[in-house]
């Protein structure tokens, strides 16, 4: 019986020594920064979903401001952005408030500054008009060309930037669109739609 007790005591001592050594080693590694995320060569985060790209806030209304060198293309893009927002469950500010926001943005040159990296103007607009976020977009559509099947191929580009009331900036990259249509206008509209879809995919 005494022999069994001695063996058990020896085993427990060995286990305790192993735990203490491991704990000290772990603490030392933490102090040296060896287990600080990507600094650790053995730390693999490839299977962890990254959350760098945030989504638009679900609560509150979204304002939409579209710019471009063609009023028709601007109106077309704005209508599609608003439609996509609604289809994805977001709320958009009403037309009367949207007109006031656009006028205020133009006076303060808020959109221009935002494209240059200064989002203070848009943050102020969000606060003044109780908007959860403002989406800016710049659209450009090229002249469609006749393709090999006798139809038209249109190209378009759009840059979409969103700024939330929580001071989060989303997107900003240029999305290229390309599509075919039986007429010049159809090809152009399809190309704009394609670019808008790709641009919106960057923010939600």
Q: Is residue 47 part of a domain?
A: no
Do 82 and 155 fall within a single domain?
yes
Q: Is residue 52 part of a domain?
A: no
**What CA–CA distance (Å, rounded) separates 195 from 133?**
21
The domain total for the chain is 2
- Nearest CA to 165 out of 193, 133, 120, 190 is that of 133
**What CA–CA distance (Å, rounded) separates 169 from 77?**
21
Q: Is residue 55 part of a domain?
A: no
Kindly tell me if the per-residue pLDDT of 8 is higher than 60: no
Do 76 and 34 fall within a single domain?
no
What is the reported pTM? 0.71
Q: Which domain holds residue 175?
A: 61-200
- pLDDT tier at 22 (50, 70, 90 boundaries)? very low
- Predicted pLDDT of residue 40: 32
CATH number reported for the structural domain that contains residue 191 in this entry: 3.40.50
Average pLDDT over residues 18-43: 37
């Amino acid at each position: 019986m005494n022999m069994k007790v001695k063996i058990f005591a020896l085993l427990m001592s060995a286990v305790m020594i192993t735990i203490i050594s491991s704990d000290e080693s772990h603490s030392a590694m933490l102090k040296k920064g060896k287990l600080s995320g990507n600094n650790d060569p053995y730390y693999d985060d490839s299977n962890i979903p990254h959350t760098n790209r945030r989504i638009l806030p679900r609560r509150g209304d979204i304002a939409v401001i579209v710019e471009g060198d063609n009023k028709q293309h601007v109106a077309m893009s704005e209508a599609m952005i608003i439609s996509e927002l609604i289809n994805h469950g977001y709320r958009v500010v009403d037309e009367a408030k949207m007109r006031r926001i656009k006028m205020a943005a133009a006076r303060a040159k808020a959109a221009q500054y935002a494209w240059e990296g200064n989002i203070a103007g848009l943050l102020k607009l969000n606060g003044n008009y109780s908007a959860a976020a403002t989406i800016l977009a710049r659209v450009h559509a090229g002249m469609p060309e006749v393709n090999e099947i006798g139809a038209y191929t249109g190209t378009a580009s759009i840059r979409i930037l969103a700024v939330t009331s929580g001071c989060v900036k989303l997107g900003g990259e240029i999305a290229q669109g390309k599509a075919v249509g039986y007429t010049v206008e159809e090809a152009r509209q399809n190309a704009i739609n394609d670019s808008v879809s790709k641009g919106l995919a960057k923010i939600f």
